[in-house]
């Protein structure tokens, strides 16, 4: 656990970069320091590994004051990743990753095994293809992976990351973020992550510490920050589209109608038409005998007296969601699909649920109602 107690930084020229921040980051949590440039987030990060000395206050790691440890030993126990520029160009990928293990005098064999393990973890496979390359021979995204692997070198319990995905194109950045979240699932480090990008913060953080002018304005989970911004600054910072941003925090499974009504492809059209009238719906999902989703039946295609089977008039589906699809993606799919509803299927293609605009609206209303009442 990392604990900041009234941490203050005043530079010799009188600039107050950080003004009495108190913050607790539980073990294994991903904490994002977020804020506009100059808000003191990077200074706060660098005080944790003593790259910047504190003016007053205390920082405790697992209950121990960081000033009581030798600074180099402290830093060897804390992973540190910055923008890709921090890789050593004269060292191979393997040597870069081995930096801290070498400083700790690990035996050669152990270092080699660790380097291979880390290259696999960050997706630079096969390891033997990358280990002897130089940073100049890698793409920006690959370099950033090496940066993450290097920070994890000696398997430190804590990781400090200063805009690690800042200098990368948006597409690669999304991918690296996803991968890093996957890695974090596996390694469960305590992470302090600096960014000025609200979307990155919402996506990555278990908690967000929003800073302004050296002060901590709000420390909350992403959902809470979006639903209940503490003041106008937070509201402005998270943006007018905060409801849309909140969508990415939810998964389809949390919102979908489970056990939706459906028709079998082999049923007769008249039976299906009757069912739709009873339910008062214009669309029904069509499934096969095993419950696999096939497409949609549109009520307007049914004419009275029309004989035949459902499969003859069925519209095949164009988009699908899974229960784990983030809600923002699901919403976008719903706009794309002609039906306006979204079928949710599992890995075997079986219909698991249905997502409708109405259902989505209800759920969002629910989570924001509290604020509307203010």
Partner 1 sequence: MVEAWQFVLRRPELLGEWTLQHLYIILVSNGISLIVAVAAGIWITGKGREHIADVILYLADIIMTIPSLAMFGFLMPLFAALGLKSYGFWVAVVALILYGLLPVIRNTYTAIKEVDPAMIEAGRGMGMSELQILTRIKLPLATPVIMAGLRNAVVINIGIAAIAAMIGAGGLGVPIFRGLRNLRIDLIIAGSVAVTVLAWVADALLGLVEHWVTPAGLKRARQR
Output 135 or 273, the one with its CB closest to partner 1. Answer: 135
Q: Cα(44)–Cα(80) distance, rounded to whole angstroms? A: 14
Output 28 or 166, the one with its CB closest to partner 1. Answer: 166
Angle at 325 between CA 321 and CA 327, to 5 degrees: 100
90 binds partner 1, rule: CB under 8 A: yes
Output 51 or 363, the one with its CB closest to partner 1. Answer: 51
Output 43 or 341, the one with its CB closest to partner 1. Answer: 43
Output 76 or 352, the one with its CB closest to partner 1. Answer: 76
Output 48 or 364, the one with its CB closest to partner 1. Answer: 48
Task: Looking at residues 63 to 82 of the shown chain, list those that interact with partner 1 (rule: CB under 8 A).
Answer: 72-77, 80, 82
99 binds partner 1, rule: CB under 8 A: yes
Q: Cα(284)–Cα(362) distance, rounded to whole angstroms? A: 21
Output 161 or 216, the one with its CB closest to partner 1. Answer: 161
100 binds partner 1, rule: CB under 8 A: yes
Output 152 or 351, the one with its CB closest to partner 1. Answer: 152
Main-chain phi, psi angles of 74, to 5 degrees: -55, -50
89 binds partner 1, rule: CB under 8 A: yes
One character per residue 125-144, x = contact with partner 1 (rule: CB under 8 A): ---------xxxx-------
CB of 74 to partner 1, least distance (A): 7
CB of 128 to partner 1, least distance (A): 18
Output 153 or 260, the one with its CB closest to partner 1. Answer: 153
CB of 82 to partner 1, least distance (A): 6
Q: Cα(246)–Cα(250) distance, rounded to whole angstroms? A: 7
103 binds partner 1, rule: CB under 8 A: yes
Number of residues engaging partner 1 in binding (CB under 8 A): 30
One character per residue 33-52, x = contact with partner 1 (rule: CB under 8 A): -------------x--x-x-
Q: Residue from 44, 92, 144, 218 that binds partner 1 (CB under 8 A)?
A: 92
83 binds partner 1, rule: CB under 8 A: yes
Q: CA distances (Å), 324 to each of 131, 182, 232, 253, in order?
A: 35, 14, 33, 6
Q: Residue from 115, 159, 160, 342 that binds partner 1 (CB under 8 A)?
A: 160
Task: Looking at residues 299 to 358 of the shown chain, list those that interact with partner 1 (rule: CB under 8 A).
Answer: none
> Token pair 């291979």 is at which residue?
116
Interface stretch with partner 1, choices 91-99, 267-275, 277-285, 286-294 (CB under 8 A)? 91-99
Q: Cα(327)–Cα(332) distance, rounded to whole angstroms? A: 9
Which residues here bind partner 1, judged by CB under 8 A?
A: 46, 49, 51, 72-77, 80, 82-83, 85-92, 99-100, 103, 134-137, 150, 153, 160
């Amino acid at each position: 656990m990392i604990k900041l107690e009234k941490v203050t930084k005043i530079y010799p020229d009188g600039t107050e970069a950080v003004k009495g921040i108190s913050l607790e980051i539980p073990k294994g949590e991903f904490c994002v320091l977020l804020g506009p440039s100059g808000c003191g987030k990077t200074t706060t990060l660098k005080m944790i590994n003593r790259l910047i000395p504190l003016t007053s206050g205390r920082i405790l790691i697992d209950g121990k004051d960081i000033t009581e440890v030798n600074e180099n030993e402290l830093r060897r126990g804390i992973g540190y990743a910055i923008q890709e520029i921090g890789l050593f160009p004269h060292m191979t990928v393997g040597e870069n990753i081995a930096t801290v293990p070498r400083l700790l005098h690990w035996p050669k064999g152990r270092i080699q095994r660790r380097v291979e393990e880390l290259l696999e973890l960050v997706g630079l496979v096969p390891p033997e293809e990358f280990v002897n390359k130089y940073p100049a021979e890698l793409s920006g995204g690959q370099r950033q992976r090496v940066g993450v692997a290097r920070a994890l070198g000696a398997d430190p319990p804590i990781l400090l990351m200063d805009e690690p995905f800042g200098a990368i194109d948006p597409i690669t950045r999304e991918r690296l973020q996803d991968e890093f979240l996957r890695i974090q699932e596996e390694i469960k480090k305590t992470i302090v992550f600096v960014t000025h990008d609200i979307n990155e913060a919402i996506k990555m953080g278990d908690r967000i510490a929003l800073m302004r002018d050296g002060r901590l304005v709000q420390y909350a989970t992403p959902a809470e920050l979006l639903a209940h911004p503490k003041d106008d600054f937070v509201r402005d910072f998270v943006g007018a589209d905060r409801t849309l941003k909140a969508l990415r925090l939810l998964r389809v499974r949390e919102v979908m109608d489970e056990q939706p009504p459906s028709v079998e492809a082999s049923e007769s059209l008249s039976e299906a038409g009757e069912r739709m009238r009873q339910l008062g719906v214009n669309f029904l999902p069509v499934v096969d005998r095993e419950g696999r989703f096939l497409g949609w039946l549109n009520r307007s295609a049914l004419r009275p007296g029309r004989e035949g089977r459902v499969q003859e008039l069925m519209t095949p589906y164009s988009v699908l969601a899974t229960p784990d699809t983030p809600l923002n993606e699901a919403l976008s799919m719903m706009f794309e699909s002609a039906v306006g509803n979204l079928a949710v299927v599992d890995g075997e293609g079986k219909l698991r649920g249905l997502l409708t605009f109405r259902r989505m609206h209800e759920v969002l209303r629910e989570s924001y109602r509290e604020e509307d009442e203010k």
